[in-house]
A and B are shown apart, each in its own frame.
Chain A
Amino acid sequence: MIEVKNLKHSYEKNDDFAVDGISFDIKKGEIFGFLGPSGAGKSTTQGILSGLLEKQEGHIVIDGEERKGYPNKTFFNKIGVGFERPNVYKKLSALDNLKFHASLYDGETEDPMTVLEWVGLQDEAKKKAGAFSKGMMQRIGFARSMINKPEIWFLDEPTMGLDPTTANSIKGIIRKKQKEGTTIFLTTHNMFVADELCDRVAFIVDGKIAAMDSPKNLKLKYGQPVVTVEYMDGNKLVAKTFSMAEKDKGELTKFIADKDVKTIHSGEPTLEEIFIKLTGRGLE
């Protein structure tokens, strides 16, 4: 669905690249996560792919069409873009915001009221968006991004600032849309969201991709599973972590046999730990 080869972008049009020769491809119906700290080049990549920024260097083919400069009207009918900021008219009601946005597309669109129901704002439909909390505005922005039934959906930090319940319902909508065949490009610095939703993720740092695979494979490839054992040391409960590497397995077996073991927990590294291991940087 999306093929990107050696993509480069410089805001000043010099050698200072915000995106520096990245390549990846996204299959139809896949959720592809772009994981990286602020300023890594996530939003620039999304900006170029979604048509906000001009393609300068490299190749982009989306749905069989090679990108030259800025995309055409047909492309914009196919995509939906959810921004990190809500991007809503604060003086208009939630419903008017969606109605207005729906009118800008040539094809069939979702019913604005139905979309508001999906994001749990049906009771606030006629209230002015400016009176909403940040999370509620974020939900209008999210609703707006899917009003045109997009085939390709670009989402930037879709769950940021949302309470766990709302975040879960947003994640549910994303999964539902994926099942319907929507291709999703998700940029985030939230490793849990990426781990939970994405079929594959790419780690991006300083405009370059450091690693790319499914979260499971990245953990298996670069992380080391561990076992944490809690045991009684006199009257005290103490925890000790063992590597699951083949060479360390004997030590664990001996430990279990010798000690008064109370609990045993297996664990795998988080995506963030893998990210730090690979890039030497945190995600914030």
Chain B
Amino acid sequence: MKKLISLFKKDVLLGIKDVFILLELGFAVVIMLLLLFVFPKDIERDAMVYIHDETGLVMDIVERFTEEADMEMEFDEFVDSREEIIEGMSKNRNAMGVIISFGDEEDATLYKTEMLVQPYTTDAMMKFVEIEMEDMLSMLHPPFGTYPLEVYNSVSITSLQEGLRDEIPFNKRMLPVIILMMVGIIGMFAMVSLIGQERSEATIRAFRVTPSGITGFLASKNLMLLAVSTVTFSILYIPVMGTVAGYLPALLITMLTVIFGSAIGTFLGSFFEDPMASMGYVVLLMMLLSLPAISLFAPTFSPAWVRFIPTYHTLFGLDAAMFPDNNSHIIWNGALILAAIDVVLATLAGWVFLNRIRKEG
């Protein structure tokens, strides 16, 4: 452990002195600022609410109230069915829906309220509409007394799960791809560069005649990349998504992708002493590993072969973690597949690396 800590410290120090770490973190801050202030974000602020009132009472009350007050309810729109709400919400990414029905057929004085929201609607917005609905229900007091408490607790919330993904704000929608490229794949670049430096300065030869193994040598570089990636990921993720919305599952998926990228980098580093000589392969691999992004943006493009590219699981895993809609199985399936690939690939890459450098003496 002492040796691993020492190797880790050395790699961090070299990473800082090589400006790699500072560049990575600085670039993450720039991208985060772009996502927050240049790309569209808080588009739910002017949310519209479709109301389907099966009771007719709410509509009467609202109409009477607005006539008496000589004002217009410009934020709500009454529709005739649940289907119309869903259709309206499909067209309007800001919209939400409310269905008001009789709660009990035998006692028509009780009302039931169901709320339909977009998968990405924030908790704050849902709470706001919930309170609005409670206020509206409170206007429907019977001529005497008040309704039982159950009336006010009857608001239920249903999140629409299908067909609305393309309505997620652009800055959030872009985040999985940005994380993949800036954090996940960067492991490949960094590993090629770190190993190349050790080989070109022949420091790896000096290391090999010490009682510290190559496993520790590669592990410390992976640890350094994971540490830098965690910070980079957090810089990108927290300001855009917050810490609650899938932070930990998304971090897990990202870390597994960093290990995948670094294993590929170890392979390349085994064969190329000069990192620049491997750049052609790095770019080619980057293009290949970015292909699943097409499926993320255009769900109709999802051929079976794309699913064999490990980053497919990164992108869809991140997407599922960031925009949860009862799809946690996508996160965990993706994490399991990536973990399995990591175990095989990292072991193989370590073995190839050891044999290559041993052959070179």
Contact = CB atoms under 8 A, between A and B. Distances in A.
The secondary structure that dominates the B interface is helix
Given A73-B211, A91-B14, A105-B211, A83 B6 contact: no
Contact of B206 (A51, A96, A103, A144): A144
Contact of B209 (A52, A92, A106): A52
Contacts of B209: 50-52, 76, 79, 81
Q: Which of A79, A87, A106 has the most CB of B within 10 A?
A: A87
Given A81-B209, A144-B206, A91 B361 contact: no
Interface in A41-82: 43-44, 47, 50-54, 70, 73-74, 76-77, 79, 81
A70 B213 CA distance: 12
Given A44-B361, A53-B361, A70-B358, A87 B208 contact: no
Contacts of A262: none
Contacts of A148: 210
Nearest to B6: A103
A248 B17 CA distance: 69
A104 interface: yes
Contacts of B14: 89, 91-92
A137 to B, nearest CB: 10
Contact of A87 (B9, B205, B359): B205
Interface string B157-170: 00000000000000
Contacts of A167: none
A89 B201 contact: yes
Given A83-B202, A89-B10, A104 B207 contact: yes
Nearest to A85: B202
Interface in B193-219: 201-203, 205-213
A5 interface: no
Contact of A88 (B3, B6, B201, B213): B201
B361 A87 contact: no
B205 A52 contact: yes
A89 B211 contact: no
A8 B9 CA distance: 40
Interface residues of A, number: 34
A164 B358 CA distance: 35
Interface string B14-25: 100110000000
Contacts of B10: 89, 92, 96, 100
B291 interface: no
B18 A87 contact: no
A234 B293 CA distance: 98
A92 B212 contact: no
A103 B9 CA distance: 11
A126 interface: no
A87 B201 contact: yes
B2 interface: yes
A144 B206 CA distance: 9
Given A47-B361, A53-B361, A76-B211, A92 B17 contact: yes
A251 to B, nearest CB: 54
Nearest to B208: A52
25 contacts: A11-B359, A51-B209, A52-B205, A54-B358, A70-B358, A73-B211, A73-B213, A76-B209, A76-B211, A81-B209, A83-B205, A83-B206, A85-B202, A87-B206, A88-B203, A89-B10, A91-B14, A91-B18, A100-B9, A101-B210, A103-B3, A103-B6, A105-B210, A141-B206, A144-B206
Given A52-B209, A92-B17, A96-B10, 14 more contacts: A43-B361, A53-B361, A70-B358, A74-B211, A76-B210, A77-B211, A79-B209, A85-B202, A87-B205, A89-B14, A101-B210, A104-B207, A104-B210, A105-B210
Q: Which 7 pairs across A and B sit closest by C-beta, in order of nearness? A: A103-B6, A91-B17, A76-B211, A87-B206, A104-B210, A73-B211, A81-B209
